[in-house]
């Protein structure tokens, strides 16, 4: 919602309009379309000329990009987390946090994949690249005709059964070009005002869920997952609701839904006959409990969504939906209307990666590196910050950085920006006096090395 402006205030009207638009955009990811200038003028009761001046100011500040016919889209990056406020809350409620932590037994895992750096193990995938090159050289790429992804679906079915105990056939798998597209296809197929979606918040996927006018009901996260009592009450009121859960992807602390709570959620949905959509985007990174789709009898009411993107990289834009056979046809019909064809090169790469066993080897090495790099920090974050961060925007990347000398924490907290959040861990635990927790938008990676150099200069 646009914040109303005060016509009698001493601040220029166009500046108030610009501030209102910027606050509105902070709740949406980059790429969100703004209302027309005329619609904004009517909403705020100002002239269109004033809105044009506000648009020009926002464009100069790189908050929006103006397209044809005066329509604009947001270029505002994911806003930074107010670590100072979180730290104050943590310091004033440590006793309550400790009780919550010991009873719920939640734990946090930082996403430490760092494109362009030496963290991600590349050796298992290099052999795959060679195999893909040979396939391309031996066959005309344009004649690769596996449009139905039959080979890939067979390999995925085997991979899911061997690694996650998900028993499904190739006919129950739908291939898409990424998690966002998979969720859009699911939203287009199932959600409506009469069939709302109940989801764990904060969630980066809310704009996708509501883009077609469906009702979305957020349930706030707490340590260990959403409250089962809250879930029961909402599902009782919404007989035909879907429940969307992301058990490994709660940003920024990435704490997981614990096994006991997850099974309780599953039983509630099964008893009330509410379908479950399990978005398992971070699977493979951590030693996490098996997904709901592996439970006995889950094939009829759990739709499982997985991807390669968050383990291998954003160039590997491929995801899959495991759904009951009676819904696969509906998903494919919608997919044919809203999604372009998946890259043939990515398709071949995924096939070779699964066929050779390189992906399993890659994940094994990656999980070991995550544990090594992230040892200790998850306990700090889950104990003091779990459930306290309200965050809007797209998910991204976090990293634990250790410096040779202690950090000047006040200077670092002042460096908070819309794209990057920085937390000196010594504020919460003196044993980490030299360490920093960084959380940033993916499109800010190009400036990370420069930022690290600046941070080094801030050490005491």
Classify residue 3: in a domain, yes or no. no
Average pLDDT over residues 75-99: 50
Do residues 277 and 290 share a domain? yes
Do residues 233 and 296 share a domain? yes
Do residues 47 and 170 share a domain? no
**Beta strands in 21-162, from DSSP E residues, in sequence order:** 64-66, 72-74
**pLDDT at res. 373:** 58
Average pLDDT over residues 41-69: 79
Residue 292 has pLDDT above 90, yes or no: yes
Q: Which of 73-77, 250-254, 302-306, 407-411 has the highest mean pLDDT?
A: 302-306
Confidence of residue 205 (pLDDT cuts 50, 70, 90): confident
The reply to whether the predicted model has a pTM over 0.85 is: no
Do residues 203 and 57 share a domain? no
**Hey, is 242 helix, strand or coil?**
strand
- Residue 276: which CATH number? 3.40.640.10
**pLDDT at res. 108:** 31
- Residue 55: which CATH number? 1.10.10.10
Confidence of residue 176 (pLDDT cuts 50, 70, 90): very high
Question: How many C-beta neighbours within 10 Å does residue 24 have?
Answer: 18
Least confident of 116-130, 172-186, 205-219, 412-426: 116-130
**pLDDT at res. 142:** 55
**pLDDT at res. 53:** 81
Residue 308's Cβ-side half-sphere holds a number of Cα atoms within 13 Å equal to 24
Least confident of 23-27, 32-36, 286-290, 373-377: 373-377
Q: Which residue has the tokens 């919460």?
A: 428
Do residues 134 and 240 share a domain? yes
Residue 406's Cβ-side half-sphere holds a number of Cα atoms within 13 Å equal to 11
**pLDDT at res. 242:** 94
Average pLDDT over residues 108-137: 58
Q: What domain count does the chain have?
A: 3
Question: Percentage of the chain surpassing pLDDT 70?
Answer: 65
How do residues 216-225 score in pLDDT, each as one tens digit?
888 876 656 7
- The DSSP result for 423-458, as a single string, is EEGGGT-GGGTTEEEEEE-GGGGGGHHHHHHHHHHT
Do residues 413 and 352 share a domain? no
How do residues 427-437 score in pLDDT, each as one tens digit?
777 777 777 77
Comparison of pLDDT for 118 and 350, the residue scoring more: 350
| Mean pLDDT over each residue of the chain, to the nearest integer | 74
Classify residue 382: in a domain, yes or no. no
Do residues 140 and 161 share a domain? yes
Helices 150-164/358-374 angle, 10° precision: 50
Identify any residues that bridge with 322 across adjacent strands, giving them in sequence order. Answer: 173, 304
Do residues 343 and 290 share a domain? yes
Burial 367-383 (b: 16+ CB within 10 A, else e): bebbeeebeebbebbbb
Residue 169 has pLDDT above 80, yes or no: yes
Residue 278 has pLDDT above 80, yes or no: yes
Average pLDDT over residues 101-108: 30
Least confident of 43-47, 149-153, 210-214: 210-214
Q: Which of 157, 147, 163, 186 is nearest to 344 (CA)?
A: 147
Comparison of pLDDT for 156 and 193, the residue scoring more: 156
Gap between the Cα atoms of 264 and 245, Å rounded: 13
Q: Counting Cβ atoms within 10 Å, is residue 329 exposed (0-12), middle (13-18) or buried (19+)?
A: exposed
Q: Which of 84-88, 266-270, 288-292 has the highest mean pLDDT?
A: 266-270
Do residues 143 and 261 share a domain? yes
Average pLDDT over residues 68-79: 56
**pLDDT at res. 94:** 43
Q: What is the DSSP letter of 133?
A: H
Confidence of residue 170 (pLDDT cuts 50, 70, 90): very high
Do residues 175 and 265 share a domain? yes
Identify any residues that bridge with 64 across adjacent strands, giving them in sequence order. Answer: 74
Average pLDDT over residues 75-84: 53
Between CA 404 and CA 414, with CA 408 as vertex, the angle to 5 degrees is 130
Q: What is the DSSP letter of 292?
A: G
Comparison of pLDDT for 167 and 80, the residue scoring more: 167
**pLDDT at res. 47:** 85
Residue 120 has pLDDT above 60, yes or no: no
Q: Residue 50: give the domain boundaries.
A: 13-74
Average pLDDT over residues 164-179: 93
Q: Which of 74, 93, 110 is the last residue of a domain?
A: 74
Average pLDDT over residues 245-255: 59
Do residues 20 and 153 share a domain? no
Classify residue 252: in a domain, yes or no. yes
Residue 331 has pLDDT above 50, yes or no: yes
Asked if residue 346 lies in contact with residue 317, where contact means CB atoms within 8 angstroms, the answer is yes
Burial 156-167 (b: 16+ CB within 10 A, else e): bbebbeeebebe
Confidence of residue 270 (pLDDT cuts 50, 70, 90): very high
Average pLDDT over residues 445-459: 62
Do residues 214 and 328 share a domain? yes
Asked if residue 18 lies in contact with residue 57, where contact means CB atoms within 8 angstroms, the answer is yes
Cβ contacts of residue 71 below 8 Å, gap of 6+? 33, 34, 36
Comparison of pLDDT for 331 and 434, the residue scoring more: 331
Identify any residues that bridge with 191 across adjacent strands, giving them in sequence order. Answer: none
Residue 381 has pLDDT above 70, yes or no: no
**pLDDT at res. 362:** 84
Classify residue 407: in a domain, yes or no. yes
Classify residue 375: in a domain, yes or no. no
């Amino acid at each position: 919602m646009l914040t109303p402006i005060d016509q009698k205030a001493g601040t220029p009207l166009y500046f108030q309009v610009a501030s209102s638009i910027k606050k509105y955009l902070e709740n949406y990811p980059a790429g969100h379309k703004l209302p027309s200038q005329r619609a904004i003028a009517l909403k705020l009761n100002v002239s269109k000329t004033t809105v044009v001046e506000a648009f020009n100011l926002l464009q100069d500040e790189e908050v929006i990009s103006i397209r044809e016919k005066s329509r604009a889209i947001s270029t505002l990056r994911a806003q930074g987390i107010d670590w100072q406020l979180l730290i104050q809350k943590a310091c004033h409620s440590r006793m309550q946090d400790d009780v919550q932590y010991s009873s719920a037994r939640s734990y946090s895992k930082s996403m430490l994949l760092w494109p362009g750096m030496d963290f991600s193990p590349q050796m298992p995938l290099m052999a795959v690249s060679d195999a893909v090159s040979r396939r391309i050289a031996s066959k005309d790429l344009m004649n690769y005709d596996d449009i139905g992804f039959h080979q890939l679906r067979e390999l995925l079915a085997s991979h899911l059964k061997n690694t996650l105990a998900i028993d499904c056939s190739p006919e129950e798998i739908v291939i898409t070009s990424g998690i966002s597209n998979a969720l859009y296809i699911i939203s287009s197929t199932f959600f409506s005002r009469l069939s709302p979606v109940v989801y764990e918040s904060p969630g980066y996927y809310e704009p996708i869920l509501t883009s077609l006018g469906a009702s979305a009901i957020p349930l706030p996260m707490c340590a260990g997952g959403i409250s089962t009592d809250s879930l029961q009450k909402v599902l009782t009121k919404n007989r035909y609701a879907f429940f969307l859960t992301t058990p490994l992807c709660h940003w920024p602390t990435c704490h997981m839904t614990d096994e006991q709570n997850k099974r309780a959620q599953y039983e509630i949905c099964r008893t009330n006959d509410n379908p479950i959509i399990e978005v398992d985007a971070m699977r493979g990174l951590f030693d996490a409990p098996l997904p709901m789709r592996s439970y006995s009898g889950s094939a009829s009411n759990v739709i499982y969504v997985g991807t390669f993107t968050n383990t291998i990289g954003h160039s590997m834009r491929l995801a899959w939906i495991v759904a009951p056979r009676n819904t696969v046809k509906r998903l494919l019909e919608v997919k044919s209307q809203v999604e372009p064809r998946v890259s043939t090169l990515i398709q071949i790469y995924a096939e070779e990666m699964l066929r050779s066993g390189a992906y399993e080897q890659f994940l094994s090495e990656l999980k070991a590196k995550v544990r090594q790099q992230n040892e200790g920090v998850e306990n700090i974050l889950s104990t003091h910050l779990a459930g306290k961060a309200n965050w809007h925007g797209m998910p991204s990347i976090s990293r634990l950085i250790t410096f040779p000398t202690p950090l000047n924490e006040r200077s670092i907290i002042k460096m908070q920006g819309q794209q990057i959040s920085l937390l000196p861990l010594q504020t919460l635990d003196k044993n980490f006096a030299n360490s920093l927790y960084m959380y940033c938008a993916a499109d800010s990676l190009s400036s990370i090395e420069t930022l690290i150099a600046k941070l080094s200069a801030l050490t005491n």
